[in-house]
Amino acid sequence: MLFGRSPRKSSKDEAEKPFWISFSDLMTACMTLFLVVMAVTIVSLEKKYSTKESFERTKAVQQCFEELRGEARNIFPEAKLDYNSNDAIRINLGAVIKFKVSDWEIQPQGIDFLRKYIPSILASVKSVSCQSYFRRVVVEGYTDIDGDYLPNLNLSLLRSQQVVRSLSPCSSSSVPITKAIAKEIMDLFLVGGFSFNSFNPDKAENRVVVLKLEFWQVGEEAKYIAQNPSKTSATVKAELLNKKFDRECVN
């Protein structure tokens, strides 16, 4: 009786076969990599806009910037506004307020400009889009790269202080500042300074002052008030009622 036998595989058939990545496998790998990148991007965006209020804040500050820029273009074209969504609104006043080397005095036309423009800013930040998150105005003074660090730092502070000083209601300027505006300036304005500004190739353009409008982050104001219950807006304004803008000023 004959029994069938299965054919035996030759050693040639058992030899290692070459490995090739199929086109479908390559596409699958690319799709997987794409999904990973998308997931990382979505997580990043969720952190930035984690809540509806965060999104609303970004939208409100952007709208506030558009309003301020529109008014500046129409009435105060010398003011140059810039806004970065991760930062404050910056207003460069270098086109109208120019400082001589090692000097901090502001020319009369610059003083008149400030006394017209600052009240306009304070009125604008009371709009619906601005007031919800608006915090304060920081006046930043700058110097060029000439000189040493500490003298330049002091000079930059003198320049920023001179901006606030020029807003005194006691000034002899032909442009008046009301007592109400003076109180707002006392409440909202801070001064700061920086040495060795080299942003522009022209040194004269680096000797400037910049107004930085800062805004509260989401939940930051409530946290600050909780930690400093005596520093609420109403309390601070009440304290300022008996304060003079300058020693020479009469309330």
Q: What is the pLDDT along the chain (251 residues), one digit of tens a residue?
A: 445 555 555 554 554 555 556 667 767 778 888 888 887 877 666 665 567 788 888 899 999 999 999 999 999 999 999 998 667 999 999 889 989 999 999 999 999 999 999 999 999 999 999 998 999 999 999 998 888 999 999 999 999 999 999 999 988 889 999 989 999 999 999 999 988 777 777 888 889 999 999 999 888 777 777 777 766 666 655 665 667 777 666 55
Torsion of CA 73, 76, 82, 83, to 10 degrees: -80
Kindly state whether residue 151 falls inside one of the protein's structural domains: yes
Kindly state whether residue 91 falls inside one of the protein's structural domains: yes
Kindly state whether residue 144 falls inside one of the protein's structural domains: yes
* Residue the block writes with tokens 């820029």: 69
Kindly state whether residue 43 falls inside one of the protein's structural domains: no
Q: What gap in Å lies between CA 24 and CA 124, rounded to an integer?
A: 60
Task: Indicate which CATH number applies to the domain containing 99.
Answer: 3.30.1330.60
Q: Are 155 and 235 in contact (CB under 8 A)?
A: no
Show the domain range for 113: 50-240
Q: What gap in Å lies between CA 95 and CA 76, rounded to an integer?
A: 11
Kindly state whether residue 39 falls inside one of the protein's structural domains: no
| Largest separation between any pair of C-alpha atoms in the chain | 131
Q: What pTM was estimated for this model as a whole?
A: 0.74
Kindly state whether residue 92 falls inside one of the protein's structural domains: yes
* Counted domains in the chain: 1
Q: What gap in Å lies between CA 95 and CA 97, rounded to an integer?
A: 6
User: For residue 112, what is the enclosing H or E element?
Assistant: helix 108-124
Six token digits for residue 203: 């040194």
